[in-house]
């Protein structure tokens, strides 16, 4: 039977549709949205979303954030051929971190010295880096005479890096703090033998209390009038180190005491200083109320722990004109780095906050947050503070 012309044309059209359908191409494919899932557009030849057959409801595709998850199986994790990838604005660090540190406590002290006195210094204070008592009182002395504190090991001569720093600084005056058991006579002789023959003076007493009194006498001899003395425990180091920048900047000698009794050497030194007032650093557990009662117009700055005490001292320093513009931190669980840092922060009229190696105490973080608007320099002394702690502090400042 012959087909009519109209039926023949219909049969041919149907065959064409079947061929196209067999090839996996859908005629008049529906409009799909950008990112619509695979079940809505499955083609063996075009995995994912087939833009050859389907029209996108939104085109060009909207901008997606950097690192966005997959929108097209055929395009990888971020489809840059269909979407424009936005680039997040760069993070602007308003206050960058500056690291002042060496491979050891001795090299860190050298780095601090180079930061403080890039063109040399008229004086240098040498103290042992193996124990803390003698050098706790050294920062006011170093600042009064215009020089840094360099730490030395228990040896008969200086190592090459410390000797090189001495030659670079070229001081005319050198103070050696403590007995020969602390800083050897060999080192003293080596300094005296330097080509320009600096004046070397050893300041040492029978114990740490006598040494602090002798150092206080040297500060008074240089500065003349002493209006305030600082009293801190000589049995531990955090309190004295917390106050060192303030005491050095103001020219206040640091005198050491026992927790529950004021040594006779300290009593005599307080009298010789002629100060009208005193600053006690530390809680009553460190310096008792009985000791405080023997001092002229005592003002106490002491908290529940070393970090709170340091923060309270920082508040007091700020009230007296020292500024958070130059702020630094160092570990509060060891003494060498903070010991060397005292004269630097006195010179910069800045604030030094002690921190635990792996965390930031709430008393410290609150000071950073409160004063961040004025900070222009953030300095980390030494390598004992963990990077996560530094990052936390940096975030608080930025």
For residue range 81-118, list pLDDT tens digits in order: 555 566 666 666 788 999 999 999 999 999 999 999 99
- 49 with 106, same domain? no
Q: How confident is the model at residue 60 (pLDDT cuts 50, 70, 90)?
A: low
For residue range 198-224, list pLDDT tens digits in order: 999 999 999 999 999 999 999 999 999
* Strands, sheet with 173-177, edge to edge from the N-terminal-most edge strand: 149-152, 123-128, 173-177, 199-203
Q: What 3-state class would DSSP assign to 63?
A: coil
- 296 with 393, same domain? yes
Distance, in Å, from the CA atom of 217 to the CA atom of 386, rounded to the nearest integer, reads 39
- 24 with 156, same domain? no
For residue range 34-57, list pLDDT tens digits in order: 554 444 344 444 444 444 444 444
- 346 with 238, same domain? yes
Does a structural domain hold residue 89? no
Does a structural domain hold residue 85? no
Q: What are the φ/ψ torsions at residue 333 (nearest 5 degrees)?
A: -105, 10
Q: What are the φ/ψ torsions at residue 268 (nearest 5 degrees)?
A: -65, -40
Closest CA to 259 of 217, 302, 220, 296: 302
Assess contact for 380 and 329: CB atoms under 8 A: yes
Closest CA to 278 of 253, 261, 258: 253
Does a structural domain hold residue 147? yes
Distance, in Å, from the CA atom of 295 to the CA atom of 347, rounded to the nearest integer, reads 28
**Which domain-ending residue is among 5, 29, 58?**
58
Number of domains comprising the chain: 2
Does a structural domain hold residue 14? no
Half-sphere exposure of 369 (CA within 13 A, CB side): 8
Assess contact for 279 and 296: CB atoms under 8 A: no
Query: In this structure, what DSSP letter does residue 87 have?
Result: P
86-93 own/partner pairs: CB under 8 Å, 24+ apart: 93/394, 93/398
Residue 22 has pLDDT above 50, yes or no: no
- 53 with 129, same domain? no
- 149 with 29, same domain? no
Percentages of the chain per state (helix, strand, coil), in multiples of 5: 40, 15, 45
Place of tokens 């059209």: 13
In angstroms, what CA-CA distances link 351 with 312, 315, 361? 11, 9, 16
Q: Where are the alpha helices (DSSP H) in the chain?
A: 5-22, 105-116, 138-145, 160-169, 185-192, 208-223, 238-250, 264-273, 289-292, 306-319, 336-347, 362-371, 387-397
Q: How confident is the model at residue 79 (pLDDT cuts 50, 70, 90)?
A: low
Does a structural domain hold residue 37? yes
- The DSSP code sequence of 161-210 is HHHHHHHHH--SEEEEES-TTTS-HHHHHHHHTSTT--EEEEE--SSHHH
- 334 with 220, same domain? yes
Q: What is the pLDDT of residue 74?
A: 46
- 202 with 297, same domain? yes
Distance, in Å, from the CA atom of 96 to the CA atom of 75, rounded to the nearest integer, reads 39
Does a structural domain hold residue 270? yes
Q: C-alpha 378: how far from its chain's center?
A: 6
Q: What is the pLDDT of residue 94?
A: 83
Does a structural domain hold residue 68? no
Q: What is the pTM of this model?
A: 0.78
- Domain extent, residue 157, equals 97-397
- 118 with 54, same domain? no
Does a structural domain hold residue 301? yes
- 48 with 145, same domain? no
- 48 with 121, same domain? no
For residue range 331-378, list pLDDT tens digits in order: 999 999 999 999 999 999 999 999 999 999 999 999 999 999 999 999
For residue range 235-284, list pLDDT tens digits in order: 999 999 999 999 999 999 999 999 999 999 999 999 999 999 999 999 99
Residue 328 has pLDDT above 50, yes or no: yes
Q: What is the pLDDT of residue 42?
A: 44
Cis peptide before 300 (omega within 30 of 0): no
- 180 with 303, same domain? yes
């Amino acid at each position: 039977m012959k087909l009519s012309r109209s039926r023949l044309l219909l049969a041919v059209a149907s065959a064409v549709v079947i061929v196209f359908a067999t090839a996996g191409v859908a005629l008049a494919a529906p409009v799909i949205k950008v990112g619509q899932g695979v079940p809505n557009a499955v083609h063996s030849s075009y995995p994912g979303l087939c833009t050859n057959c389907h029209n996108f409801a939104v085109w060009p595709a909207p901008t997606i954030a950097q690192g966005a998850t997959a929108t097209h199986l055929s395009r990888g994790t971020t489809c840059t051929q269909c979407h424009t990838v936005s680039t997040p604005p760069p993070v602007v660090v308003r206050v960058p971190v500056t690291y002042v540190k060496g491979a050891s406590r001795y090299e860190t002290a050298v780095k601090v010295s180079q930061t403080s006195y890039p063109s040399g210094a008229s004086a240098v204070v040498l103290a042992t880096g193996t124990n803390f008592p003698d050098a706790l009182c050294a920062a006011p002395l170093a600042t009064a005479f215009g020089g840094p504190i360099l730490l030395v090991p228990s040896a008969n001569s200086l190592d090459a890096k410390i000797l090189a720093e001495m030659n670079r600084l070229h001081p005319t005056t050198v103070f050696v703090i403590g007995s020969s058991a602390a800083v050897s006579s060999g080192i003293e002789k080596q300094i005296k033998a330097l080509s320009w023959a600096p004046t070397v003076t050893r300041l040492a007493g029978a114990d740490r209390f006598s040494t602090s009194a002798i150092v206080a006498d040297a500060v008074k001899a240089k500065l003349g009038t002493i209006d305030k003395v600082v009293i801190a425990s000589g049995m531990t180091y955090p309190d004295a180190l917390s106050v060192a920048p303030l005491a050095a900047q103001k020219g206040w000698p640091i005198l050491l005491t026992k927790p529950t009794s004021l040594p006779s050497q300290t009593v005599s030194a307080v009298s010789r200083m002629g100060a009208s007032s005193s600053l006690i650093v530390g809680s009553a557990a460190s310096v008792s109320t009985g000791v405080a009662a023997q001092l002229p117009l005592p003002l106490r700055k002491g908290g529940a722990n070393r970090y709170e005490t340091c923060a309270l001292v920082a508040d007091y320093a700020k009230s007296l004109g020292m500024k958070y513009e130059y702020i630094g931190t160092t570990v509060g669980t060891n003494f060498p780095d903070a010991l060397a840092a005292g004269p630097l922060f006195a010179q910069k009229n800045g604030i030094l906050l002690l921190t635990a190696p792996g965390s930031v105490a709430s008393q410290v973080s609150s000071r950073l947050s409160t004063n961040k608007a004025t900070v222009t320099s953030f300095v980390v002394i030494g390598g004992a503070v963990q990077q996560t702690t530094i990052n936390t502090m940096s975030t608080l400042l930025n």
